[in-house]
Structure 1
Amino acid sequence: MKIRFGYVSTAITLWDASPAKTLTYTRYQQLSPEERTEKLLDVTRQNIEHTKRMLYFNLAHEIEVYRMSSSIVPLATHPEVRWDFTTPFKKEWEEIGDLVRNNHLRVSFHPNQFTLFTSPKNTITENAVIDMSYHYQMFEAMGIADKGLINIHIGGAYGDKQETLIRFHQNLTTLPAHIKQVMTLENDDKTYTAEETLVVCEKETIPLVFDYHHHMANLSEAPLEELWPRIVQTWEHVPHIPKIHISSPKSEKEFRSHADFVDPEFIMPFLQLLKESGQDVDFMIEAKSKDQAALKLIEDLSKLRGYKRISGGTIEIK
């Protein structure tokens, strides 16, 4: 079986390459109409250019899995700003899409924790649809709307998990079908366990992005050995292998916080389960050191018996 490794948003190895440079609404208001347009275009241009730099970095290191920044376009979903960010950069978006498609890269987005469908407030649900649409629109501009995935969490429990899950299913009907088709759900470290998230995914025909660190912080009643085959099945209707989020605790006291790098010992039980299942997967490394953590974990694992590095970003387990 094979595991491809990726990282989140920014290759910290590169100098000044953030794809998430910002423009606050407060600063935006202080500018003249002409300056506002110029600033929006300038910041977006830098973020798109840095996204391309990241992709070239990944290609050089044979890293095939990458999560793009959700903040490429400043103020894209702000109700007082929402602007056309695709037309001015038609060529640039398409260049990113070509890089992804021609090199068979796997890319995704992960909107922030406020993009959820569990809230009793209609405005929260409406904003979630707007945010999901924004991410989908970027994939559309790249010409890879059929290849990228958008991952979110279920959200809060609001004092009653069962009632909240009923509301989640109801609220999710407001999300356009074509966007739901590229949506994934992830188990979290405090509220919804992998088992609870899995039930939702099975009901909605949505792939489950399994987070091992979150699972260890928020255990399911059923053992992972029983859940894993069902998790794999949630991916059968999409052209992707299962994706796993990997990180390790910062410390015993700060168990939920992510460490700078990934401790191989922490994930070893899961690696053994994967080996026994024979299922190819992709690992999204969520450690603080990003690309450096991904490459270090690959190097650490490749030193173990039965683990063979077969490319810059891929390990084979025998």
Structure 2
Amino acid sequence: MKIRFGYVSHAISLWDASPAKTLTFTRYQQLSPEERIEKLLEVTRQNLNHTLRMLYYNLAHELELYRMSSSIVPLATHPEVNWDFVTPFRTEWLEIGELVKKKKLRVSFHPNQFTLFTSPQTKITENAVVDMRYHYRMFEAMGLEQEGLINIHIGGAYGDKQKTLPRFHQNLTTLPAPIKQVMTLENDDKTYNAEETLAACEKEAIRFVFDYHHHMANLSKTSLEELLPRIFRTWEHGHGPHGIPKVHISSPKNEKEFRSHADFVDPEFIMPFLNMVREIGADVDFMIEAKAKDQAALKLIEDLSKLRGFKRISGGAVEVK
């Protein structure tokens, strides 16, 4: 079996390469109409350029997974701005998309925790749809609407999970079908555990991005040994690269701050999980969520390749026997 590795958004090894440079609405309001559009274009152009730099960096290191920043476009979903961020950058968006397709990279987005479908407030669900449309629109601009994935959490429990979960399924009907097809769900470190998230995924035919660190902070009643084959089966809804299960990997900062991510990944922490994956024998993709981002991904590959049964087969992948 093979494990490929990737990281989140920003290769910290690169100088001044943040793909999430911002323009606040307060600052936007202070500008003249001409300055506003100029500033929006300037920041977006920079973020697109930095995204491309990151992809070339990943290719140089043979890292085949990459989570793009949700903040590429400043004020994209603000109701008072609502600007066309595709037309001025058709060439740039397509350049990114063509590179991803040509090199068969696996890319995704992860909207923030406010993009949820469990709220009793209609406005929050409407905003979640707006945010999902924004992410999908970026994939469309890149020509990656069939390749990219958009990952979210179920959301809040609002004091009663049994009442909230049916609302999640009901609210989800407001999401356009093409967007739902590229959506994935992830288990939480506090609220919805792996078992509860899996049930929602199975009911909706949605793929499950399992987070091992979150699972260890918020255990299910059923053992992971029992859940994992079912979790991996949710990826059978996918096609091509979407058929490979994707997992989030990080380790605790320390015992006291267990839910916080450490700078790097402790191989000892994830070894029980690796042994379970090894038993199943399926290829899997690891998205590293450690604070040191690209450096953490590369260090984990190096650390694992020193262990018996793990062989590094490229800059960004290991073979497990």
TM-score, normalised via structure 2 length: 0.99
* Aligned partner of residue 235 in structure 2, secondary structure: coil
Q: Which amino acid aligns with 2:22?
A: T
- 2:214 is aligned to 214
Q: Is 2:157 aligned against 1:157?
A: yes
Question: What's the offset of the Cα at 1:223?
Answer: 0.4
Q: Which amino acid aligns with 1:132?
A: M
Kindly report structure 1 stretches of 4+ aligned residues shifted beyond 4 Å. Answer: none
- 1:79 is aligned to 79
- 1:307 is aligned to 310
For 1:279 and 1:258, the matched residues in 2 are separated by 26
For 2:106 and 2:201, the matched residues in 1 are separated by 21
- 1:261 is aligned to 264
Q: Which amino acid aligns with 1:246?
A: I
Q: Which amino acid aligns with 1:178?
A: P
- 1:290 is aligned to 293
Residues 174-229 of structure 1, C-alpha deviation per residue, up to 9 Å, x if partnerless?
A: 00000000000000000000000000000000000000000000000000010011
What is the RMSD computed on CA atoms of the aligned residues? 0.3
1:317 to 314, 317, 320: 320
For 2:200 and 2:208, the matched residues in 1 are separated by 9
Percent sequence identity over aligned pairs: 81
* Aligned partner of residue 152 in structure 2, secondary structure: strand
For 1:281 and 1:150, the matched residues in 2 are separated by 18
Aligned residues: 318
Question: What's the offset of the Cα at 1:237?
Answer: 1.4
* Aligned partner of residue 237 in structure 2, secondary structure: coil
Q: Is 2:225 aligned against 1:252?
A: no
Q: Which amino acid aligns with 1:75?
A: L
Correspondences of 1:93-242 after superposition (within 5 Å): 93-239=93-239, 240=242, 241-242=244-245
Gaps of at least 5 residues in structure 1 are none
Q: Which amino acid aligns with 1:121?
A: Q
For 2:38 and 2:298, the matched residues in 1 are separated by 38
Residues 225-274 of structure 1, C-alpha deviation per residue, up to 9 Å, x if partnerless?
A: 10011001111011220100000000000000000000000000000001
For 1:244 and 1:237, the matched residues in 2 are separated by 16
Question: What's the offset of the Cα at 1:82?
Answer: 1.2
Q: Which amino acid aligns with 1:258?
A: H
Question: What's the offset of the Cα at 1:77?
Answer: 0.1
* Aligned partner of residue 235 in structure 1, secondary structure: helix
Question: What's the offset of the Cα at 1:6?
Answer: 0.2
For 2:320 and 2:178, the matched residues in 1 are separated by 36
Question: What's the offset of the Cα at 1:57?
Answer: 0.1
Q: Which amino acid aligns with 1:266?
A: F
